[in-house]
Amino acid sequence: MDRRLIPLVAAAFAVGTDAFVITGLLPAISADLEVTTAAAGQLITVYALTYALAAPVLGALTAALDRRTVLLAALAVFVIGNAAFAVADDYAFAIAARIVTGLGAALITPQASAIAASIAPPERRGRYLAVVMGGLTAATALGVPLGSLLAAVDWQLTLWAVAGLGVLAAAGIAALLPSLTAPAAGLAARLAPLRDKAVLGIVTTTALVLASGYALYTYFGAAAEEATGGSQTLLTAILLAQGIGAVIGNHLAGRLTDRFGPARLMLIVQAVMVGLLGLAPFAFANLAAAIAISFAFGVVAWMAIVPQQHRLVSRHPEAAIVLIGLNSSALYAGIAFGGLVGGVSLNWLPVAALGPVGAVIGIAGLALTIAMVRAKTPAPQPAAA
């Protein structure tokens, strides 16, 4: 592996752990801050919304700056936000800390991915992107369980550990990465790719893919209750299978994107995900089936991100950071929308039926990808000087 990717992976791992581990800390956080678990849950919502709204805006505003400098600044904000959250002694301060953390995170993953794309040989771009995204998938498989283990002693230790990861990543970036500046362009020029209908279609597909999966995955614990008998240990085993699948799926995505092309891979990924979600009601009757579908879900869901990034960067390489930031926003928006749809559906449907609900959303995303592939919209050409 290109050693320049190592600190980028570390940065993505820190962001992924920070984003995913908070769910398991909510009971302890709510007790310390003297708020309800539901109120503590808004710490996740605030973070996700900050990320979704800030990523494309901050990406556009910083696109002409040195990417290494921007990434180091973003990591500094991220570390400060986590440190502030770790010492928070009231709810309002904790909310403010999560907003600060979200602002830093909104630049870290897009910048890391854009840097990976810019230093990659063209024929290996998919693999370089997959290596960076591997930091996020490793967070689901390793960072979240390790963070939960630290939280058994004190939940603040988890936040300090995440902040420490951010510091280590920053040190590696400062030591290993060169300065990387995008071609000079005004803000209007950097935002011009957002008028490309294909870009809108790609990021909408990203949102629909994540929404389809998270309509079920948000309530995965409840859906798997019959299979686990209410055992937290068995539920952890099911979720670990999903994390392992995510690591494998992300690794395969880079190679398959480079080999078959991102659009063709997305068609396969989306079709398989629709099938898995449709079968979900039958997969939670026993532990073995639940582990199997959790693993398969991890593989397929995390295989969708790299080809989407590749499609965007290939259309507008000059606006990579803006578009990757927009795709990251779509990812978080899809997670939020899927959770909302799943929650509303539970007013009328049993939790096992959330798989087919997600499949309906997934069919809409698949139809959009099919329409785009058939249209074969060419990338816009730069205007003549």
Domains of the chain: 1-182 (1.20.1250.20), 190-379 (1.20.1250.20)
pLDDT for 381 equals: 47
Angle between helices 125-138 and 232-260 (to 10 degrees): 170
In tens, the pLDDT along 213-241 reads 878 876 776 677 777 776 767 777 777 78
C-alpha span between 275 and 271 (Å, rounded): 6
C-alpha separations of 9 from 6, 83, 115, 116, 141 in Å: 5, 21, 11, 10, 14
Q: How many CA atoms lie within 13 A of 121 on its CB side?
A: 5
C-alpha span between 175 and 7 (Å, rounded): 9
Q: Quick one: pLDDT band at residue 163, thresholds 50, 70, 90?
A: very high
C-alpha span between 315 and 380 (Å, rounded): 7
CB 105 within 8 A of CB 124: no
Q: What is the DSSP letter of 122?
A: G
C-alpha span between 18 and 257 (Å, rounded): 28
> Which residue would you say has higher pLDDT here, 165 or 114?
165
Q: What angle do CA 157, 160, 163 make, to 5 degrees?
A: 155
What rounded mean pLDDT belongs to the chain?
80
* Lowest mean pLDDT, pick from 24-33, 182-191, 236-245: 182-191
C-alpha span between 27 and 19 (Å, rounded): 16
pLDDT for 385 equals: 36
**What is the average per-residue pLDDT within 56-78?**
85
pLDDT for 41 equals: 66
Q: Quick one: pLDDT band at residue 382, thresholds 50, 70, 90?
A: very low
C-alpha separations of 245 from 42, 76, 263, 299 in Å: 28, 31, 22, 4
Rounded percentage of the chain residues whose pLDDT exceeds 70: 84
Tokens of 115: 């840097």
C-alpha span between 370 and 37 (Å, rounded): 42
Find the largest Cα–Cα distance for the chain.
68
Tokens of 86: 């770790």
Q: Which residues contact 380 (CB under 8 A, 6 or more apart)?
A: 193, 196, 315, 316
Q: Quick one: pLDDT band at residue 383, thresholds 50, 70, 90?
A: very low
> Which residue would you say has higher pLDDT here, 41 or 86?
86
Residue 178 — φ and ψ, nearest 5°?
Answer: -80, 170
**What is the average per-residue pLDDT within 22-34?**
75
Rounded percentage of the chain residues whose pLDDT exceeds 90: 17
pLDDT for 79 equals: 95
Q: Quick one: pLDDT band at residue 340, thresholds 50, 70, 90?
A: confident
**What is the average per-residue pLDDT within 375-381?**
58
CB 215 within 8 A of CB 357: yes
In tens, the pLDDT along 248-272 reads 888 788 788 888 888 889 999 999 9
